């Protein structure tokens, strides 16, 4: 595979899976001590990656789950952020400015902070009550963060008796690193073709629904915009028909990400509409990828993880095709802002 270290990928994703038991132990301890809610408080891309786990709790658990912007919450505070809160702060670097500031706010409120970081010797690695360290880099962090946050959500549901087949789901998730590697291998020949679509326009409408939507948002903002300087319009599939559809015409690129959760029909609606008005609809569908031994229920849970692992292959070809390394920045961490 182009510019890819298979063993590094397996090591990082297996590292995320290996955190499951300790995550479960810490979450259960918090609940037994009277925790009343959970906040997922990442910044930028890391925040987006927390959305599937937060939404899983919001829709399938009665345990209050909040997701907010640390930069705003630092200013406004929240009546729900108390000593009975579990606060999850993901940051690959462990130094994200807004998240570090929010850490102090959470500690002041007496909340229990779980930091998910790639480096322990950092403000977030050292400052949280419980630090979960799994080294990763930009091209491998999505799957790792998705898995860790999913484990947290599932643990809350298990302890509350809101999920009966936790052990089955956990067992299937532990097989995921190797399966994701096979997905990458099988998609390599197609990745360059998809990259050509992205390189062929300076503007894309990027859409998805359910737990595929956060990955659509993330890829548009953090990869195409930040790392490739390609303009995008990320829009949720349920909002696509409330404004964005008027921008669709011949020659306009629409990129649709499809997952396998209950909200897939919202993506189907876009897929049925767009070809009537543009000749540039491109679909990336997790249902096209084999995951032997993974149940349909778990396939629905891991759709954003599968999308992330395939998109990494697309990005690897895109940066070469455009002669624009994914590490190139003009402003991010280069100028004051």
Query: Mapped to the 3 state alphabet, what secondary structure does the chain carry?
Result: CCCCCHHHHHHHHHHHHHCHHHHHHHHHHHHHCCCCEEEECCCCHHHHHCHHHHHHHHHHCCCCEEECCHHHHHHHCCCCCCCCEEEEEEECCCCCHHHHHHHHHHHHHCCEEEEEECCCCCHHHHHCCEEEECCCCCCCHHHHHHHHHHHHHHHHHHHCCCCCCHHHHHHHHHCHHHHHHHHHHHHHHHHHHHHHHHHCCCEEEEEECHHHHHHHHHHHHHHHHCCCCCEEEEEECCCCCCCHHHHCCCCCEEEEEECCCCCHHHHHHHHHHHHHCCCCEEEEEHHHCCCCCCCHHHHHHCHHHHHHHHHHHHHHHHHHHCCCCCCCCCCCCCCCC
Residues 195 and 122 in one domain: no
Per-residue pLDDT of the chain (337 residues), as tens digits, is 999 999 999 999 999 999 999 999 999 999 999 999 999 999 999 999 999 999 999 999 999 999 999 999 999 999 999 999 999 999 999 999 999 999 999 999 999 999 999 999 999 999 999 999 999 988 999 999 999 999 999 999 999 999 999 999 999 999 999 999 999 999 999 999 999 999 999 999 999 999 999 999 999 999 999 999 999 999 999 999 999 999 999 999 999 999 999 999 999 999 999 999 999 999 999 999 999 999 999 999 999 999 999 999 999 999 999 999 999 999 998 999 8
pLDDT at 235: 98
Residues 191 and 251 in one domain: yes
pLDDT at 337: 87
Residues 261 and 131 in one domain: no
| Structural domain of 316 | 175-321
Residues 152 and 30 in one domain: yes
The whole model's pTM is what? 0.97
Residues 148 and 241 in one domain: no
pLDDT at 167: 97
Per the domain annotation, does 328 fall within a domain? Answer: no
Which of 173, 190, 211 is the last residue before a domain boundary? 173
pLDDT at 55: 98
Count the domains in the chain.
2
């Amino acid at each position: 595979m182009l510019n890819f270290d298979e063993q590094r990928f397996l090591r990082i994703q297996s590292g995320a899976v290996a955190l499951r038991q300790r995550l479960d132990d810490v979450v259960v301890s918090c609940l037994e001590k009277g925790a009343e809610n959970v906040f997922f408080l990442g910044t930028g891309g890391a925040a987006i990656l927390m959305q599937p786990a937060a939404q899983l709790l919001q829709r399938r658990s009665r345990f209050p789950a909040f997701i907010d912007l640390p930069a705003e919450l630092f200013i406004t505070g929240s009546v729900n952020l108390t000593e009975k809160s579990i606060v999850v702060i993901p940051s690959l670097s462990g130094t994200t400015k807004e998240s570090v500031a929010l850490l102090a706010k959470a500690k002041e409120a007496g909340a229990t902070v779980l930091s998910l970081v790639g480096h322990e010797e950092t403000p977030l690695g050292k400052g949280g009550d419980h630090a979960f360290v799994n080294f990763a880099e930009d091209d491998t962090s999505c799957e790792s963060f998705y898995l860790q946050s999913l484990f947290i959500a599932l643990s809350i549901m298990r302890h509350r008796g809101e999920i009966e087949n936790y052990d089955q789901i956990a067992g299937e998730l532990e097989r995921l690193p190797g399966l994701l590697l096979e997905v990458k291998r099988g998609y390599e020949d197609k990745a360059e073709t998809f990259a050509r679509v992205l390189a062929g326009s300076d503007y894309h409408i990027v859409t998805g629904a359910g737990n595929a939507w956060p990955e659509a948002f993330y890829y548009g903002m953090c990869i195409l915009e930040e790392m490739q300087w390609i303009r995008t319009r990320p829009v949720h599939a349920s909002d696509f028909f409330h404004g964005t559809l008027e921008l669709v015409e011949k020659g306009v690129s629409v990129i649709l990400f499809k997952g396998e959760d209950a909200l897939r029909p919202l993506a189907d609606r876009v897929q049925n509409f767009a070809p009537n008005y543009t000749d540039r609809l491109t679909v990336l569908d997790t249902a096209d990828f084999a995951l032997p031994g993974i149940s349909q229920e778990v396939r629905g849970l891991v759709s954003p993880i599968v999308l992330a692992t395939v998109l990494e292959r697309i990005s690897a070809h895109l940066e070469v095709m455009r002669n624009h390394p994914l590490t190139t920045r003009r402003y991010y961490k280069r100028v004051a802002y």
